[in-house]
Chains A and B, each alone.
Chain A
């Protein structure tokens, strides 16, 4: 970055928390990146008053002094976008942690390390597309591609804010990210170069042509989500839950098994070991959709809980900007943020240092607006440029409500902007019912679109199965209160049957073991078949019960156990085994019927 001439005159006048104040210039720009002190700690202007600027600093402030110099950069906080991002881990302001490790020469993150996000030395094999000299280029046009990982071939794009006429163009070959690959004359007649990478300010959403309504599901392989509370590609979901309810595991599951092209995982103010876990586990796992290592489509941003709060605030914007870059290439992107509550707390902390008037629980009045800005950057869009492409961004964000109370400001405000809500429940978690998504208070605003998709995709029973199962669960919930008071013995047989079926649904369908090699991911076909089998069992058992068969006989059928275990014991692709269960159910019920003389 270039340093402005005025650098010498800007001086620190106050230091407090994670912010400093600077004086000495006649004008500052909001959002400008400023290097603070001799160590050149990275900071950003967040408030201006007369000739004083308040700067939030992305690194610890110990050792700074009044009158230490400030260095202006004239730039805003930007993301570097180009080849070399995937399969990497960065901090909240996109510094690569592996490089920091080498430069720090220790296991700790040293201060004041300046490094590029993208490796400047590495050469990439770039294949230009059909553009030639004299062609007009516009923002978003595809110039060529680079096979970055096994899974992803990245498209080299004309940056969104650029257009002109090509006067020079490079052939296929090996290039560094800063090598010019094209020279063009811009609208005012100046010559400009394009390289394999470009930069984009993180707080400004990247432009697109049109936002589309969502239509496709994001297949997650998690039964309760895909079947009960689905999310569409381009959709948003919140995952609120107290500690120990499994937010992080669910986020890991989504990042592992969703059928998104690119996954961006933001560890925002959470545990260090959780990021280490991802780094350790993902390279070993195979993406069931492409058969490539999962890491080849994954990018991690880690700003763990004891890293500076200001960088935690920035990490969310950094993540979504990188997501938009992949969206603009025509990919579907899943962004998982864990957890947005820690981001909101960073906002609160900085707001406090600015002495702004707090509203609820000390949060600033603009909490809702900031959350809205973030979630609105998701969606299914027609991208800029040619050829025609559609891309999407999903956001699944965990929320960590204090005391598990969903009425607190971050959860309440998040609810306003997301369409799917997967509420995690500590009662379920305490029973080791995972994922602990509560089917009573969770919802999805995408069911209508997904139902249409299901009809077109040969899953015409999806809506009906879903309704029937939810009905059983709802009824079970009502009965539960009665059972708690008087025991199940006192209930009529058909109601006892509901409790039995609900039990099978909970144990055999809703619970899904993230650590089981088969159960961790469940393909849609198997999910549908499982629902069909459980409902078939219900239908036949119901006939028997209506003809006077006692519930104990049904409960002792071997198929009850088979239905509870089919998720783990039958291979995901093995449809013949599942069909056999169907035969078992029919024959078991017929045997029972004929043995005791109940008509089916």
Chain B
């Protein structure tokens, strides 16, 4: 590390929201890490956001409450914020600044990383192709996850998204050799204490606690600090994946809380707002988080990123889910009406999407018939939902025979395929179930699967 002379300044000229302004100081770097010493409080940490002549604008991660204008002492470190990284992080819990909060000692390491990360060169990326078996039919068959993918779960308040994440953590087979190189990096961003306890318990129950690196910023913690949580967590993830060859499952929860904090800070900075008061740079900011996932040449590790995102008022066109959808490689969407019918997991198959699925399934990956089976289930279910809409108006009896068959198919699909409960289904089992459902449709309607596959895979006794 290059040791730069540290600069110490006493007093500030302005305090507003989470920002302070220090004047009459030179040699300060953009993005520099700093600490503020207060008389009656623990030291707070911050970052230089902008410099105008001799005015230095600083974001204090723990806020400015009870900061005294003339008394405080600001110490500039001459470098950006860094995280000391080591294999010893696994199994530990930290705050957003990377300080342990589990009562165990600080991590000592001679390796450190800038928490802001650096863009990956597109020519150094390896295109993700190896599927992850989650044991959930609607994901494995219809929206297959791939190692190195970034995907959000779009959910609404009161929907069982945490339960779903729990099930994924419990069931996911991320590597060929049963999980030995699997590590979970969990960034809790503005989580309520209840949710936090749920996850802690989940890790204990699933025996994954010693594989989790937790970075925690709860709902009661500072919002400004939340801007740091995913960055610190992904810095740890990058080290573990690309320097230590772990397969990292990075879980960010909840992106909505993060974006609210981003808006709070951008308003304090008097940035011109775009939609709903969120800053115009929110797309780039979110990209600088999501794009840190993937696979890089010369490393056998990977970062698969799952982001929990609560859609405000279930609105998918809200800027947070909208911008996220443009960056991530698909999305899993939870549906309130499925949930209300008691279907779990309530994944809306038609609106969900896995962009990397096409290259990770089929012959040599899952099973040769998987791609066309998936297309056929999708098309038939969509058709069935149309008929359901029609039946709502004119009644099922008034539908012609063909429409009735599709109407019933949609119900069967939801009741058996989507509604699987908290149990594991292998990809093979899910594929078989898919063919079983298709066997209830007339052969002539199966236009997406080839005759060959129909002959080979459709259960004979159930054929219509």
Using a CB–CB cutoff of 8 Å, the interface residues on chain A facing chain B are 13-17, 60-67, 89, 97-98, 100-101, 104, 106-111, 242-244, 267, 269, 271-273, 275-277, 279-280, 302, 304-307, 309, 342, 345, 348-349, 352, 358, 361-362, 400, 402-405, 430-432, 483-489, 507, 515, 556, 561, 564-565
Contacts and interface: CB of A to CB of B under 8 A. Distances in A.
Interface string B25-61: 0111111100000000000000000111110000000
Interface string B384-412: 00000110011000111001000000000
Interface in B353-412: 353, 355-356, 358, 375, 378-379, 382, 389-390, 393-394, 398-400, 403
Contacts of A487: 390, 394, 398-400, 403
Given A305-B283, A307-B119, A515-B358, A273 B379 contact: no
A406 to B, nearest CB: 13
A302 B119 CA distance: 12
B288 interface: yes
A485 B31 CA distance: 60
B30 A101 contact: no
A67 B390 CA distance: 71
A188 to B, nearest CB: 45
Nearest to B146: A273
A431 B382 contact: yes
A403 B124 CA distance: 32
Given A362-B272, A402-B275, A403-B317, A101 B124 contact: yes
B255 to A, nearest CB: 15
Contact of A62 (B30, B298, B394): B30
A474 B350 CA distance: 26
A63 B317 contact: no
Nearest to A355: B272
A516 B355 CA distance: 16
A306 B117 CA distance: 10
Contact of B30 (A64, A242, A275): A64
B274 A63 contact: no
Given A66-B53, A430-B350, A349 B30 contact: no
A557 to B, nearest CB: 11
Given A107-B121, A345-B281, 8 more contacts: A67-B27, A97-B122, A106-B124, A306-B287, A400-B326, A402-B322, A403-B317, A488-B400
A345 B394 contact: no
A108 B118 contact: yes
B121 A305 contact: no
A278 B116 CA distance: 27
Nearest to A356: B272
Contacts of B358: 515
B70 interface: no
A164 B80 CA distance: 55
A107 B296 contact: yes
A1 to B, nearest CB: 24
Contact of A305 (B32, B274, B284): B284
B345 interface: no
Interface in B273-317: 273-275, 280-281, 283-284, 287-288, 291-292, 294, 296-299, 316-317
B322 to A, nearest CB: 5
Contacts of B121: 97, 100-101, 104, 107-109
B77 interface: no
A400 B325 CA distance: 11
**Which 4 A-B residue pairings sit nearest by Cβ, starting from the closest?**
A403-B317, A305-B287, A62-B31, A107-B124
B26 A361 contact: no
Given A62-B116, A349-B280, A488-B400, A97 B123 contact: yes
A271 B124 contact: no
A65 B281 contact: no
Given A306-B287, A486-B394, A276 B127 contact: yes
A272 B122 contact: yes
B127 A273 contact: yes
Contacts of B350: 430-431
Contacts of B90: none
Given A62-B116, A349-B284, A402 B330 contact: no
Given A16-B52, A17-B50, A108-B121, A271 B327 contact: yes
B84 interface: no
A243 B123 contact: no
Given A62-B80, A63-B80, A489-B400, A273 B128 contact: yes
A304 B27 contact: no
A396 to B, nearest CB: 18
A306 B351 CA distance: 26
A94 to B, nearest CB: 15
B77 to A, nearest CB: 12
27 contacts: A63-B29, A65-B26, A98-B123, A101-B121, A108-B118, A111-B118, A242-B322, A267-B122, A269-B287, A271-B329, A275-B122, A276-B126, A304-B122, A306-B287, A306-B292, A349-B281, A349-B284, A361-B274, A403-B318, A404-B317, A405-B317, A431-B379, A432-B382, A487-B394, A487-B399, A488-B403, A489-B398
Contacts of A17: 50, 281
B294 to A, nearest CB: 6
A342 B283 contact: yes
Contacts of B299: 107
B447 A107 contact: no
Interface string B243-280: 00000000000000000000000000001111100001
A63 B30 contact: yes
Contacts of B323: 402
B242 interface: yes
Nearest to B118: A108
A67 B297 CA distance: 39
B447 A484 contact: no
B217 to A, nearest CB: 22
A546 B148 CA distance: 58
A111 to B, nearest CB: 8
B426 to A, nearest CB: 25
Contacts of A307: 119
B419 interface: no
B73 to A, nearest CB: 21
Contacts of A404: 317
A267 B353 CA distance: 22
B346 interface: no
Contacts of A402: 275, 317, 319, 322-323
B61 to A, nearest CB: 17
Contacts of B52: 13-14, 16
A226 B323 CA distance: 32
A66 B51 contact: yes
- Residue among B30, B54, B329, B447 with max Cβ neighbours from chain A (10 Å): B30
Contact of A432 (B283, B292, B322, B379): B379
Contacts of A485: 393-394
A109 B119 contact: yes
Contacts of A342: 283
Contacts of B460: none
A269 B355 CA distance: 17
Contacts of B161: none
Nearest to A400: B326
B223 to A, nearest CB: 20
Contacts of A13: 52-53
A108 B120 contact: yes
B301 to A, nearest CB: 12
Contacts of B331: 243-244
A99 B123 CA distance: 10
A63 B31 contact: yes
A484 B399 CA distance: 11
A242 B318 CA distance: 12
Contacts of A65: 26-30, 51
A215 to B, nearest CB: 37
A370 to B, nearest CB: 16
Contacts of A242: 322, 325
A342 to B, nearest CB: 7
A588 to B, nearest CB: 15
